[in-house]
């Protein structure tokens, strides 16, 4: 202990002030320091460089639905740890840890509400829950969201964010790809639109299935979108990939996206799309 600490501790009227370590947010892109409150009020978008940070399901629902009012849909019950998988930790323990950290049952949640007076069912994939990985629970939640949209006669809007399939569930995780594809077909048969908003990052089996099957494909600025990683692709084709490859702006320029929309304008853009695609649904 230094002499100044000894003096401070010996004087009772000197009040110690603890400085919270979460007052500031450092942008991973430009390095700018922003008050955390200001950053969150700006919808987790850096006010200096417009970098779009990741957000969870609860905040996404608050931003998208009118006045944040929405009804969460119950998460389907699925068999957990079907393969009794273990690597450095038990899969069951990883699930428990993710639930404790996020407060959510799994990586995909649904809610229903209104977007500028128009009904919608919204599904959100949370990267904070085991990298948004796709397993039995995610597939079941996606199907439940489709069924809710059909029951409500409303469009299904999905925000994707994933590192791919959940390896701890093996082939069962890959089976969610055709499962979700069939569910989307049922939505189409009901005459309802399926809208995808890809956020950072959307990769792996999610990109190879429901993320790329939207009637309208949107993405947030700067989002990483792809199947395999850039390094893997470069090693496979033995060529250097272009700058910005697999970012949303590059995909827009090459016809894989319909639009790249700033987070601040997403709600009004989605409302306009619902008006175009479900014209019989009059705004309240």
**Distance of alpha carbon 63 from alpha carbon 134, whole angstroms:** 24
Q: Would you say 27 is a known binding-site residue?
A: yes
Q: Would you say 200 is a known binding-site residue?
A: no
Retrieve residue 126's tokens: 């949370």
Q: Would you say 67 is a known binding-site residue?
A: no
Q: Would you say 254 is a known binding-site residue?
A: no
Binding residues: 27, 30, 46, 49
Which residues line the annotated binding site for Zn(2+)? 27, 30, 46, 49
């Amino acid at each position: 202990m230094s002499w100044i600490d000894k003096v401070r501790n010996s004087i009772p009227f000197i009040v110690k002030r603890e400085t919270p370590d979460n007052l500031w947010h450092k942008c991973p892109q430009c390095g700018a320091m922003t008050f955390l409150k200001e950053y969150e009020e700006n919808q987790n978008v850096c006010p200096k460089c417009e970098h779009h940070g990741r957000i969870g399901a609860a905040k996404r629902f608050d931003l998208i639905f009118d006045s944040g009012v929405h009804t969460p849909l119950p998460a389907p019950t699925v068999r957990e740890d079907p393969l009794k998988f273990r690597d450095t930790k038990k899969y069951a323990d990883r699930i428990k840890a993710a639930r404790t950290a996020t407060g959510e049952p799994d990586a995909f949640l649904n809610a229903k509400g209104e977007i500028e007076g128009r009904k919608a069912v919204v599904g959100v994939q949370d990267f904070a829950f085991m990298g948004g990985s796709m397993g039995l629970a995610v597939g079941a939640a996606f199907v439940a969201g489709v069924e809710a949209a059909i029951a409500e006669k409303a469009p299904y809007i999905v925000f994707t964010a994933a590192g791919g399939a959940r390896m701890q569930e093996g082939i069962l995780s890959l089976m969610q790809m055709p499962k979700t594809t069939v569910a989307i077909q049922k939505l189409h048969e009901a005459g309802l639109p399926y809208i995808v908003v890809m956020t950072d990052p959307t990769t792996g089996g999610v990109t190879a299935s429901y993320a790329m099957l939207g009637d309208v494909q949107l993405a947030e600025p700067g989002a990483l979108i792809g199947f395999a990683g850039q390094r893997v692709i470069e090693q496979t084709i033995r060529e250097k990939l272009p700058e910005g490859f697999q970012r949303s702006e590059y995909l827009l320029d090459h016809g894989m996206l319909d639009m790249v929309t700033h987070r601040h304008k997403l709600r009004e853009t989605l409302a306009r799309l619902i008006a175009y695609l479900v014209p019989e649904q009059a705004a309240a």
